[in-house]
Amino acid sequence: MAQIFHPSANTLARVSILGGALAALGAVGVSYLIISSPYQTGVDVVKDQPIPFSHEHHVGGLGIDCRYCHGSVEESYFAGMPPTYTCMSCHSQVWTDAPMLAPVRESLALDRPIEWNRVHDVPDYAYFNHSIHVKKGVGCYSCHGRVDEMPLAWKEESMNMGWCLECHRNPEKHLRPREEIYNLDWSVAADQDAVREFVQREADAGTYQSLTADDYVSQEELGYLLAAMYEVPTLGHDTPMTNCAVCHR
């Protein structure tokens, strides 16, 4: 019987199989890049807003506390958006005729809320509660970054499931004293003296070991102490905080 295929067909078949495998891997890689890109996650993307509100100016420059505008962050799942009256408590006195603030004045005159575009939009299938995170010692910085350095607000973290789980498995990396929750400048390294004083107070109360003069308190060490004080589980992959029902109810 005559040979149907030329011997070179064997080489062509091998190349085709290899090419198909590489193409499949390439498709997976490209898909991952798209999924993790700012186009999909919204990280570092500034959204258009009806008013170009600057956290850098209000928080970093004027020192306004987060809770002045986001008043329900300690009691509710939702941090809250400021009503127009909050804006006008200042802007009825300063920048009263600024063109960029016309939407604020119009909102007040028409008794109609300002329609802000959400920067951090949690999917409907995920449950997130601001108040419990604040009460357990998670600072604004951990999720929102240096808001006081943002002339216009953007999303600092992807806030995907893997990112949330990393913190739920190892919360000690992100916990801070409750009095420092809204202090965006705070860090263990920069505030080591205050951290040592805090830890020593707990040692004197019998809840932590005493420090020596040379002891450096790391974020993890402070985090484990705070986790015990604030009743936050720290068991890695075995923690109940990684249970599906915690976020998907």
pLDDT at 30: 87
Distances (CA, A) of 232 to 40, 142, 144, 169: 32, 16, 21, 11
Q: Does residue 54 lie within any of the structural domains?
A: no
**What's the CA gap between 69 and 80, in Å, rounded?**
8
Q: Does residue 146 lie within any of the structural domains?
A: yes
Q: Does residue 93 lie within any of the structural domains?
A: no
pLDDT at 227: 93
pLDDT at 203: 80
pLDDT digits (tens, 9 = 90+) for 46-61: 999 999 999 999 999 9
Distances (CA, A) of 212 to 82, 104, 120, 196: 46, 55, 43, 10
* Low-confidence residues in the chain, pLDDT < 70: 1-2, 207-210, 212-213, 236-237
Q: Does residue 78 lie within any of the structural domains?
A: no
pLDDT at 212: 67
Q: Does residue 29 lie within any of the structural domains?
A: no
Predicted model pTM: 0.84
Question: What is the token pair recorded at 69?
Answer: 């505008």
**What's the CA gap between 36 and 30, in Å, rounded?**
10
**Residue type for position 37:** S
Q: Does residue 149 lie within any of the structural domains?
A: yes
Annotate the chain with DSSP letters as a single string. Answer: ----S-THHHHHHHHHHHHHHHHHHHHHHHHHHHHTSHHHH-BTPBPP-SS---HIIIIIIT---HHHHSTTTTTSSS-----HHHHHHHHTTSSTT-GGGHHHHHHHHHT----PPPSS---TTS---HHHHHHTTB-HHHHH--GGG-SS-BB-S---HHHHHHHHH-GGGTB--GGGTT-TT--TTTTHHHHHHHHHHHHHTTSSPPPPTT----HHHHHHHHHHHHT----GGG-GGGSHHHH--
Of 140, 169, 1, whose CA–CA distance to 65 is shortest?
A: 140
pLDDT digits (tens, 9 = 90+) for 110-131: 999 999 999 999 999 999 999 9
> What is the number of structural domains in the chain?
1
Q: Does residue 30 lie within any of the structural domains?
A: no
**What's the CA gap between 240 and 168, in Å, rounded?**
9
Tell me which residue range forms the domain holding 218.
Answer: 124-247
pLDDT at 6: 76
Q: Does residue 37 lie within any of the structural domains?
A: no
pLDDT at 144: 97
